[in-house]
Amino acid sequence: MASRSAGDELWARVYRWRIAGTVHTGITRVGYFLLLVVPSGSFDFQIGPDDRPRILLATFVYSALGGIVGRRHGRRVFAPVARWLDGGREATVEEQECLLAQPRRQAAATLVYWVVGGLVGAVTYYVWFEPNVIAAGTVLLGLSFLGGHAAAFVYLLVERVLRTTAAESMLSSQPVRLTILSVKNRFLLAFVFGPGITTVGIAIFLSSRASSAYDVAPALWPVVVLGLVDGYVLVALAAASVTRPMEEIRVAMKRVLEGDLHADVAVDSGNEVGLLQTGFNSMLVGLRERELLRQLLGQSAGTEVADRLVALGTDFEGVEVEASVLMIDLIGSTPLAEATSGREVLLTLNCLFDAVIRTTTDHGGWVNRFVGDAAVCVFGAPVEQLDHATRALAAARALHEEVTALRSDRPWLDAAIGVSSGRLMAANVGSATRFEYTVVGDAANEAARLTELAKQRPGRVIASGASVDAADPEERSWWAGAGNVRLRGKTISTDIHEPLGSLTVEVEDLLRDGRLSSP
């Protein structure tokens, strides 16, 4: 025999507990009434001991038919949940809401079963025993009340069975609206269909057995009503002592989701609810510390790196990526430091690095680190960018224009820029106590060597042939080949390119028109 799917298995458990709630009510209430109360003559129904076989047979037939219909209907209502479980994927919003609504729907089906049973019982009594409308109505009312009792049991039992599955369905998202009874209403449900109905049943029984000499109804029913009202009020107060703090925490959680990390709640109880409030506030403290750490880390390493480190932690294995490195280095920093004050050097560096940060960010890169009077910028890591070379080259041209514009206030400001692309390792470098997220590899070293070479060129900007080849056609049109050079520390020559702005106007025009090949 083939094993049942996860959806079928869960439905079988739900249906078993639904039947358990119905059988519990049937045996403890209806069975007690039919087998003990009616034969003893405690009620003035025209039903005798000899009628019990007929009643039990009718009850069995109705239960069997109702069970078949109820199982098919319940299975159809449960079908979206079963499809989600058997699909092995995240639940959609509709499937999530269907799952959370199962206790209510299964309880409603149970209530309908009992109410229809009450109608059948009332008609059967009217036809088989006596045409007494009041007695038949009493049968309908009694079975309907018992249906409410059974539905309450089914609701709480099914909800408990589905609790783990409901938690799995909400891993990806929280419910968009309330689809189950609130905690307060569940308290009241337990009271009304528990001691409430039992108290009313006892009162009805005692009132029906009162003699003409001593009528207990005038004294009994006020006490019953007062007890029900007091019980309802006390249960409502007890429920409010739990639901009010929970509602405050729910509202605070909504504020947290909207970005407010100062939505602390007041701790006003020393019981379990107070522990929950304290735990929520402690969680907010941790979130604020985490956000502060992310902000500080973002200021030093960039927001993308900060988000990565917060999400993944200190991973030292690294990942190989295709990326581009842009390096910019201040020219003449040593003579500048000798000729001017330290404050002026600091202002110059901050002015340059401000332009670096703005330009790099505008082109989708991030400033990896500042090394003395140089800065290293990366495109294509930690966030993958298929057009990293295009972004890096465009940033280099824009940054050169920024440096040129800054010379109007600081004529001594000059900087060289080098760009290289290739396979790099993006990883945390250092130890578990102190580390830095960076990229290492030949392309990073080549960018540094190209920056050194750019200090000797009038255009101050050099890119490797690999970067230009990897860029899109529009960006490539802004660059011209400048020959091959043997960079320091490398054994093979490197093809280099310079922006067209570095050449004469006549040469630029010839290159852009295709009438002259790049050297």
DSSP 3: P
The pLDDT of residue 176 = 47
399 DSSP 8-state letter: H
Max mean pLDDT among 275-289, 453-467, 488-502 falls in 453-467
* CA distances (Å), origin 210, targets 40, 201, 205: 16, 15, 9
Give the chain's domains with CATH numbers: 6-181 (no CATH), 313-513 (3.30.70.1230)
- Tell me the pLDDT band of 515, cut-offs 50, 70 and 90: very low
pLDDT class for 516, splitting at 50, 70, 90?
Answer: very low
Q: By three-state DSSP, how is residue 87 classified?
A: helix
Give the single-character DSSP code of 33. I
Other beta carbons within 10 Å of 433 = 6
Using the predicted structure, report yes or no on whether residue 149 has a pLDDT greater than 60: yes
Six token digits for residue 303: 């927001």
Question: What are the angstrom distances between the C-alpha of 396 and each of 25, 187, 402, 410?
Answer: 80, 68, 10, 20
Q: Residue 197: which of 27, 116, 236, 205 has the closest Cα?
A: 205
| CA dist., res. 469 & res. 322, Å (int) | 14
> Does residue 503 surpass a pLDDT of 50?
no
H or E segment to which residue 437 belongs? strand 435-440
Joined tokens for residue 271: 């019981």
Token pair 């109702």: residue:
66
Note whether 265 and 277 are within 8 A (CB): yes
Phi-psi region of 471 (alpha: psi -120 to 50; beta: other; left: phi over 0): beta
**pTM strictly above 0.75:** no
The token pair at 104 is: 């209510």
Q: What pLDDT, on the 0 to 100 scale, is given for residue 209?
A: 58
Give the C-alpha separation, 126 to 139, whole Å. 10
Residues sharing a CB contact under 8 Å with residue 468, sequence separation 6 or more, in sequence order: 389, 393, 476, 479, 497
pLDDT in tens, 432-488: 666 677 788 899 999 999 999 999 888 899 999 999 999 999 999 999 988 888 888
The interaxial angle of helices 133-161 and 183-191, nearest 10 deg, is 140
Please tell me the predicted confidence (pLDDT) of residue 446.
93
- The number of residues in the chain equals 519
Q: What is the pLDDT of residue 248?
A: 81
* pLDDT for the residue numbered 38: 54
pLDDT tens digit sequence for 192-202: 666 776 677 66
Q: 440 pairs with which residues across the strands?
A: 425
Between residues 37 and 347, the one the model is more confident about: 347
Q: Name residues whose C-beta falls within 8 Å of residue 166's C-beta, 6 or more positions apart in sequence.
A: 99, 100
Q: Which two tokens stand for residue 308?
A: 């990565």
Q: Does 378 score more than 60 pLDDT?
A: yes
Residue 177 has pLDDT above 70, yes or no: no
Q: How many CB atoms lie within 10 A of CB 233?
A: 10
